[in-house]
């Protein structure tokens, strides 16, 4: 990144709220159903059909507002945003323009920097256009799904800050349980507004909007491509011609952004009050809703209560399912450091390699906890535990069964180990003499010999203990 320029990024995120029914009708919001089966006169926009506000959507918006320390407006309003598109049968979208339900929130990055959230408002999603060869089809199952559009201040100064903000937002909505935030299915979508200005210049540069980014990696690539494009235009004195206010799309294959169309000014949408809905009044009891522990609080608590390093606590709290798995292991009596090692390093490593999510892990918390416990009890070694885990990834068997099957049970019987120690020492009398004369590093040699004699199964702590006694 060229040091003579400053990047300004603002993000708009559309989060699909996971209510059972749509925002203004009782059609189901389920994903992947037969096209156009989850529709009714309201979400098809038939004449005379009247919208009715979904209370659950309001509740979820309020929960979000609380989580980002925002102001929740007791009264907010709905407006019609008019535009024509085949997947929008009414010819307008019902959205909140004048007064949103949530205003003035913030997300705090790990550096301590605050990223402002200007507003979060409720609106309905459009349907979907499906292009097959030279035919285009319209599926209106998604039309009317509740969305929370979360608009940030232009506070981010690098693609890294943008990604950190998005990941925090993503984790928050998942912890709140207000959205499954599945980026592939489009229930967490991001538009990025990017501009670049020479360092020291007060006015913002020309802003372009990159639309419909659906993975963190693509968002980062798209923003970085755009930054480079703007800087190059400045450097070659072509800024006025090359960088115009517009909407661009990111081509995931070429890694480039391409012009889509000129950005409509908000006046072009001819917003006007929605005549079929009263202003939205948030019920008093919603202001007292308790929200669950959020990822950043949880991370802090893990560092304090479990003495975990910041990085480890961050990994474990990134996803609610992962934190839940970890807490289950702790409840089953596993020490935090061991739980972290078995979960974050051993199990996650294997799951990532196999492309399996923690929710679908073939090894549940109970089994992983038992591996850690058997290691602590010295029934198996750490290396043995990894072999058990490998087998459990493949087969649905119990931990103790796997230990038996793999022949990993350590010998902890002191008299059996003592016998092996005696044999090793009498076979190496010259080395024992050297050790006693002060060559203490030979201790490792004796341990190695005993472990070899036991074919790796002797409990190393007991071997150490007995050797120390015998060599005194
Ligand atoms: Zn409907």
Same domain? For 275 and 331 the reply is: no
Per-residue pLDDT of 106-121, as tens digits, reads 999 999 999 999 999 9
> What's the total number of domains in the chain?
3
Q: How many whole angstroms from 40 Cα to the centroid of ligand 1?
A: 4
Mean predicted lDDT score pLDDT of the chain:
92
> What pLDDT was estimated at residue 150?
98
At a CB cut-off of 8 Å and minimum separation 6, what does 73 contact? 99, 100, 101, 102, 103, 282
Q: How many whole angstroms from 433 Cα to the centroid of ligand 1?
A: 89
Same domain? For 198 and 340 the reply is: no
Cβ-contact 204, 154 below 8 angstroms: yes
Same domain? For 227 and 317 the reply is: no
Same domain? For 270 and 342 the reply is: no
Same domain? For 89 and 225 the reply is: yes
Q: How many whole angstroms from 42 Cα to the centroid of ligand 1?
A: 5
Q: How many whole angstroms from 458 Cα to the centroid of ligand 1?
A: 68
Beta bridge pairs of residue 462? none
State mean pLDDT over 255-283.
83
> What pLDDT was estimated at residue 445?
92
State mean pLDDT over 155-171.
96
Q: How many whole angstroms from 139 Cα to the centroid of ligand 1?
A: 13
Per-residue pLDDT of 120-133, as tens digits, reads 999 999 999 988 89
Q: How many whole angstroms from 74 Cα to the centroid of ligand 1?
A: 27
Same domain? For 418 and 365 the reply is: no
Same domain? For 333 and 394 the reply is: yes
Same domain? For 30 and 170 the reply is: yes
Going 273 to 275 to 276 to 281, the CA torsion angle's sign is positive
Q: Which domain, by its residues, includes 450?
A: 414-470
The number of beta carbons lying within 10 Å of the beta carbon of residue 343 is 27
- More confidently predicted of 282 and 414: 282
State mean pLDDT over 206-229.
92
- More confidently predicted of 375 and 262: 375
Among 254, 288, 322, identify where a domain stops.
Answer: 288
> What pLDDT was estimated at residue 451?
85
* pLDDT tier at 303, thresholds 50, 70, 90: very high
Q: How many whole angstroms from 143 Cα to the centroid of ligand 1?
A: 8
Q: How many whole angstroms from 34 Cα to the centroid of ligand 1?
A: 15
Q: How many whole angstroms from 283 Cα to the centroid of ligand 1?
A: 24
Q: How many whole angstroms from 362 Cα to the centroid of ligand 1?
A: 38
Q: How many whole angstroms from 167 Cα to the centroid of ligand 1?
A: 32
Same domain? For 88 and 236 the reply is: yes
Same domain? For 65 and 187 the reply is: yes
Same domain? For 266 and 334 the reply is: no
434: CATH:
1.10.10.410
Which DSSP string corresponds to 401-464?
HHHHHTT---B--HHHHHHHHHHHHHHTHHHHHHHHTT-TTHHHHHHHHHHHHTTT-B-HHHHH
Q: How many Å apart are CA 32 and CA 393, to the nearest integer?
A: 30
Q: How many whole angstroms from 36 Cα to the centroid of ligand 1?
A: 10
Q: C-alpha angle with apex 212: 209 to 215, nearest 5 degrees?
A: 115
Among 226, 261, 288, identify where a domain stops.
Answer: 288
Q: How many whole angstroms from 27 Cα to the centroid of ligand 1?
A: 4
Q: How many whole angstroms from 53 Cα to the centroid of ligand 1?
A: 12
Tokens standing for residue 241: 């011609």
pLDDT over threshold 70, residue 266: no
State mean pLDDT over 346-366.
95
Per-residue pLDDT of 22-77, as tens digits, reads 999 999 998 889 999 999 999 998 999 999 999 999 999 999 999 999 999 999 99
> What pLDDT was estimated at residue 85?
86
* pLDDT tier at 142, thresholds 50, 70, 90: very high
* pLDDT tier at 407, thresholds 50, 70, 90: confident
State mean pLDDT over 268-293.
93
Q: How many whole angstroms from 387 Cα to the centroid of ligand 1?
A: 53
> What pLDDT was estimated at residue 5?
93
Same domain? For 111 and 141 the reply is: yes
Q: How many whole angstroms from 58 Cα to the centroid of ligand 1?
A: 18
State mean pLDDT over 144-168.
96
> What pLDDT was estimated at residue 459?
84
Among 227, 258, 288, identify where a domain stops.
Answer: 288
pLDDT over threshold 90, residue 452: no
- More confidently predicted of 412 and 259: 259
Query: Cα–Cα distances in Å, from 343 out to 110, 320, 329, 367?
Result: 23, 14, 9, 11
- More confidently predicted of 89 and 60: 60
> What pLDDT was estimated at residue 1?
63
Q: How many Å apart are CA 333 and CA 100, to the nearest integer?
A: 47
Percent of the chain with pLDDT over 90: 73
* pLDDT tier at 458, thresholds 50, 70, 90: confident
> What pLDDT was estimated at residue 261?
67
Whole-model pTM: value is: 0.83
> What pLDDT was estimated at residue 372?
96
């Amino acid at each position: 990144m060229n040091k003579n320029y400053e990047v300004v990024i603002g993000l708009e995120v559309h989060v699909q709220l996971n209510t059972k029914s749509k925002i203004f009708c009782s059609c189901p919001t389920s994903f992947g159903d037969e096209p156009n089966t989850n529709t009714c006169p309201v979400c098809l926009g038939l004449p005379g059909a009247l919208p009715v506000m979904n209370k659950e959507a309001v509740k979820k918006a309020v929960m979000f507002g609380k989580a980002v320390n925002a102001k929740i407006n007791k009264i907010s309003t709905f407006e019609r945003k008019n535009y024509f598109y085949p997947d929008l049968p009414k010819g307008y979208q019902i959205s909140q323009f004048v007064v949103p339900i949530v205003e003035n929130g913030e997300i705090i990055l790990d550096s301590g920097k605050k990223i402002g959230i200007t507003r979060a408002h409720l609106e309905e999603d459009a349907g979907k256009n499906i292009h097959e060869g030279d035919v285009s089809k319209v599926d209106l199952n998604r039309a009317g799904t509740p969305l929370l559009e979360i608009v940030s201040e232009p506070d981010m100064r690098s693609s890294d800050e943008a990604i950190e903000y998005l990941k925090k937002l993503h984790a928050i909505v998942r912890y709140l349980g207000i959205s499954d935030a599945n980026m592939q299915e489009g229930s967490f979508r991001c538009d990025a507004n990017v501009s670049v200005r020479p360092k020291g210049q007060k006015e913002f540069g020309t802003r372009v909007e990159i639309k419909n980014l659906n993975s963190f990696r693509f968002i980062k690539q798209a923003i970085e491509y755009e930054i480079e494009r703007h800087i190059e235009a400045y450097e070659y004195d072509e800024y006025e011609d090359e960088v115009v206010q517009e909407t661009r799309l990111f081509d995931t294959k070429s890694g480039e952004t391409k012009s889509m169309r000129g950005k409509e000014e908000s006046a072009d949408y001819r917003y006007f009050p929605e005549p079929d809905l009263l202003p939205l009044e948030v019920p008093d009891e919603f202001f007292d809703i308790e929200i669950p522990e959020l990822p950043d609080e949880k991370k802090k608590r893990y560092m304090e209560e479990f003495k975990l390093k910041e990085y480890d606590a961050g990994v474990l709290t990134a996803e609610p399912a992962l934190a839940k798995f970890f807490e289950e292991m702790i409840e089953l009596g596993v020490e935090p450091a061991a739980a972290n090692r078995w979960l974050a390093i051993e199990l996650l490593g294997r799951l990532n390699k196999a492309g399996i999510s923690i929710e679908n892990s073939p090894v549940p918390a109970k089994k992983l906890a038992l591996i850690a416990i058997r290691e602590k009890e010295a029934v198996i070694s750490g290396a043995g535990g990894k072999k058990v885990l490998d087998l459990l990834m493949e087969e649905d068997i119990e931990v103790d069964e796997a230990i038996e099957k793999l022949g990993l049970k350590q010998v902890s019987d002191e008299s059996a180990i003592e016998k092996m120690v005696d044999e090793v020492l009498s076979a190496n009398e010259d080395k024992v003499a050297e050790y006693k004369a002060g060559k203490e590093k030979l201790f490792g040699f004796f341990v190695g010999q005993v472990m070899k004699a036991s074919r790796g199964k002797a409990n190393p702590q007991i071997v150490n203990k007995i050797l120390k006694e015998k060599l005194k």
